[in-house]
Amino acid sequence: MAIQDAAAAAQEYMGSRNIDGWLLYDYRGMNPMFWETVGPIPNVTRPCWLWIPASGRPFLLTAYVDQGRFAGLGLDTAIYSGRADMVSQLRELIGGLERIAMEYSPDGQLPRVSRVDAGTLDLVRSMGVQVVSSANTAQYAAQRWTPSQLASHEKAARMLSAIVLQAFEYIGDRLASGVTEFDAAEFIRARFEEERLVVTDGPVVAVNEHSADPHFDPTPDSAVAIRPGDWTLIDLWSRLPGPDSMFADITWVAFAGGSVPENQQRVFDVVTGARDAALVEMENAFSEGRTLQGWQVDETARKFIEAAGFGQYFSHRLGHSLGREVHGNAVNLDSWETRDTREIIPGLAVTIEPGIYLPDFGVRSEIDVYVAEDGPRVTTSVQREVVLIA
């Protein structure tokens, strides 16, 4: 997204919300929202400021030594030389205004939003302005997907939905030979390379009690063999190459045997029921014209799991946003780790992934949901039954 498009979207959002402007600040990469708005620029070494007023042209304030880095953006730009000059120009830019948005979250409630250090907030507030959170402004301006970004996500989602089933088949073909969790993870990474998907960290391949660890990372030393009668969880995520491709992220579970044991089946049914209840809440809110906040969807799934008697075993948020990073910078579905009050708006994508983690096994079922203009749309395959590994 071009900076001019992001600025126009931010102004559209701020116009009816009594916000005088959005002040983005960065020093040496501390604020990724700055760079998602401006675009990637290497080797910027001094503090820089982007001012997007509620109306008018955006304005860049940057250091003398970095001035050439921002050439070509088409922004009105001022150059400062030394801290006193920077403070003076910043005061001239925002002095006399009332409310400005920055990457700040009261009490650090939303760590993904809280990017500006306390000293810089002190400086800005000393100029007589009230600083409010840019949480919703930022996601409206810079986190909504373009059609090409959505297409990249959907392609990655189709690939992951196929690869997870291939991984279970790979395990089944090698059960007798003592295939390990690490072997299966290596198979998935190899498939990513063959399909030209980005290999980051992961995947999670976790058997029995290891599946009770939501982020288990199998290594040659920690991995165990997968045997008949074992429960297996696979969580995999990736995206297509390129700076503007969006991640997909899914989790499936399987049992190595002819029928699923009653206990695992019961927990699977509760987890998938909570998943589906969260999706229905998003769909109902859209049809009724209600704007949901992230914490409300988490609460829907959490109440479902609590009613089934497993509340204490659901020990993470319901889902996260997706973007250029697998954990994106928009709204999370979370009333547990935080209370995410950001709005779920068209153009964003989230995961829905409730989990129950008992001492001897864990169950998680993860789907991706894109919020389109005509309502929420599931973009990944949806697991309805436990996979049986032959």
What CATH code is carried by the domain that includes residue 240? 3.90.230.10
The tokens describing 237, both together, are 């995520």
Q: Mark which of 142, 162, 191 sits at the end of a domain.
A: 142
Q: Is residue 93 pLDDT above 90, yes or no?
A: yes
272 lies in which domain range? Answer: 147-388
Q: Which of 364, 349, 367, 385 is nearest to 250 (CA)?
A: 367
**196 and 157 inside one domain:** yes
Q: Which of 233, 225, 179 is nearest to 203 (CA)?
A: 233
**223 and 101 inside one domain:** no
Give dist(CA 163, CA 353) in Å, integer: 19
Query: What is residue 71's predicted lDDT score, i.e. its pLDDT?
Result: 87
Mean per-residue pLDDT of the chain: 96
Name residues whose C-beta falls within 8 Å of residue 222's C-beta, 6 or more positions apart in sequence: 181, 182
**210 and 292 inside one domain:** yes
**How many domains are contained in the chain?**
2
Q: Which of 328, 330, 323, 371 is nearest to 347 (CA)?
A: 371
**158 and 135 inside one domain:** no
**72 and 190 inside one domain:** no
- Span of 22-26, 36-40, 379-383 with lowest mean pLDDT: 36-40
Q: For residue 2, what pLDDT band results from cuts at 50, 70 and 90?
A: confident
Task: Give 242-272 pLDDT, tens digit per residue.
Answer: 989 999 999 999 999 999 999 999 999 999 9
Q: The whole model's pTM is what?
A: 0.94
Q: Mark which of 120, 142, 164 sits at the end of a domain.
A: 142
Distance of CA 308 to the CA centre of its chain: 28
3-state secondary structure of 47: coil
Average confidence (pLDDT) over 7-34: 95
Task: Give 171-189 pLDDT, tens digit per residue.
Answer: 999 999 999 999 999 999 9
CATH code, 103: 3.40.350.10
Give dist(CA 250, CA 306) in Å, integer: 23
Q: Is residue 1 pLDDT above 60, yes or no?
A: no
**18 and 111 inside one domain:** yes
Q: Which of 16, 33, 118 is nearest to 325 (CA)?
A: 33
Query: What is residue 72's predicted lDDT score, i.e. its pLDDT?
Result: 83
**57 and 164 inside one domain:** no
Give dist(CA 112, CA 146) in Å, integer: 22
**32 and 111 inside one domain:** yes
Task: Give 59-74 pLDDT, tens digit per residue.
Answer: 999 999 998 999 888 8
**184 and 84 inside one domain:** no
Percent of the chain with pLDDT over 90: 96
Q: For residue 121, what pLDDT band results from cuts at 50, 70 and 90?
A: very high
Name residues whose C-beta falls within 8 Å of residue 358's C-beta, 6 or more positions apart in sequence: 212, 267, 313
Q: Is residue 48 pLDDT above 60, yes or no?
A: yes
The tokens describing 278, both together, are 């969260």
Q: Mark which of 114, 142, 170 sits at the end of a domain.
A: 142
**167 and 289 inside one domain:** yes
- Span of 1-5, 118-122, 165-169, 349-353 with lowest mean pLDDT: 1-5
**135 and 187 inside one domain:** no
Query: What is residue 16's predicted lDDT score, i.e. its pLDDT?
Result: 85
**36 and 178 inside one domain:** no
Q: For residue 390, what pLDDT band results from cuts at 50, 70 and 90?
A: confident
Q: Is residue 129 pLDDT above 60, yes or no?
A: yes
Query: What is residue 354's predicted lDDT score, i.e. its pLDDT?
Result: 98
Query: What is residue 39's predicted lDDT score, i.e. its pLDDT?
Result: 87
